[in-house]
Structure formats: C-alpha cells, structure tokens
Amino acid sequence: MARKSITITVTAAPRWWLKAYLCGVLLAVQVTGREPNWQRVRYWIGKGRQDGVSLMVARPKTICRKGGCGALIDAPGYCDKHAPLKSGWNRSHGTKNSTERGYDYAWQQLRKRILRRDKGLCQIKGPTCRYVAREVDHKVSKASAREQGWSDAEIDDESNLQSACSPCHAAKTKAERGGGS
C-alpha cells in the first residue's frame, strides 16, 4: 500500500513534528524540529478527538444518486429530498399484496397456462421488447373492460390474455393510463 503524506498545522499541539498513522494515511504535523515524545503524540491525538478537532482529512462531498439532482451530500447515497429512493422500489398499489388485488391461486394457475400457451414469448413485441415473457397482460385492460360492462370471468378469459415481457407490458400499461406511448 502506498503511503500518502499530508501536512497539517495544528496550533493546539506542542511545537514538534508529529507523525501518526490514521486510517492508512501518514499525517505529519510540523511544530518544531525536535524528536517527538510518542506518549505526548497519543495524548494530543486523543485531545484533538475530545475537542472535536479531527486530524484526518475530510472526505469530499458526493453528488446525490438521483439523476439530475446535483445536491452535495457527505456520504454516497441520496440527499434528504430523495431519501425514499433508498429502498430501491415503491409499491404502486399501496400495501395490498397480490391476493388482495385479485391475483389468487386460480390466477397463478391461469397465468402459467397462458405463458405455456404462448411458449414464453412476448406477444406485444414493442420497440424495447426482450421477447422472453414473464408476465401476463390483459389485451383489453381491466378498467376498460369494466367500463364496457364485462364480467370478471370475461375479463380473465384466456382470449383476453397474452404473454408479455416487462418493458412491453410497462409501455402498454402506461399508454392505457394516458401516459404516452
């Protein structure tokens, strides 16, 4: 490991050279030219910590990980404004699980049947298609079907279901909700 030498002037210490290794960094403090008493060195390092004086070099600030934010923060991660992004994902449907949202055991079996029927290939085939389907999409969305007066059995009928990859399914859902293409 290469040694880094940093010169720091400390006014609270006696007047001699102070050399100490903290976190792999050689700190050299010049106060006079005589040889240091290492007991006193340890004392002044401890005193500096007690007085809130840090002999270590401050870490440079980093930029918030949220694209376009640019806020400077002390440690890598997100600023206070974007702290909720730390968890990695947010549920768009609140605290309901899949069963509470209507995707029970019968739906899981139907989903497997549809993926098997379509041979695991995406049927939407949009511009960002990955071709391998892992999701099942309603051709006519559940909301639109309910507006048209369809029953739950008609909404989940195999003729209204298709296999989809995540990017195609997300793009189709966004377009159906009025969010563009």
The two tokens of residue 146 are 């309910």
Q: Do 109 and 70 fall into the same domain? A: no
pLDDT on residue 5: 46
Alpha carbon distance 141, 159 (integer Å): 13
User: Which parts of the chain register pLDDT below 70?
Assistant: 1-58, 87-94, 179-181
Total number of domains constituting the chain: 2
Instruction: Count CB-CB contacts under 10 A for residue 138.
Output: 19
Q: Do 24 and 68 fall into the same domain? A: yes
Q: Which residues contact 150 (CB under 8 A, 6 or more apart)?
A: 140
pLDDT on residue 1: 47
pLDDT on residue 158: 94
pLDDT on residue 13: 43
Q: Do 2 and 62 fall into the same domain? A: yes
Query: What stretches of the chain show up as alpha helix (H) in DSSP?
Result: 38-50, 105-117, 142-147, 152-155, 166-176
pLDDT on residue 135: 93
Alpha carbon distance 11, 5 (integer Å): 19
pLDDT on residue 37: 62
pLDDT on residue 112: 95
pLDDT on residue 51: 47
For 162, the domain range is 105-176
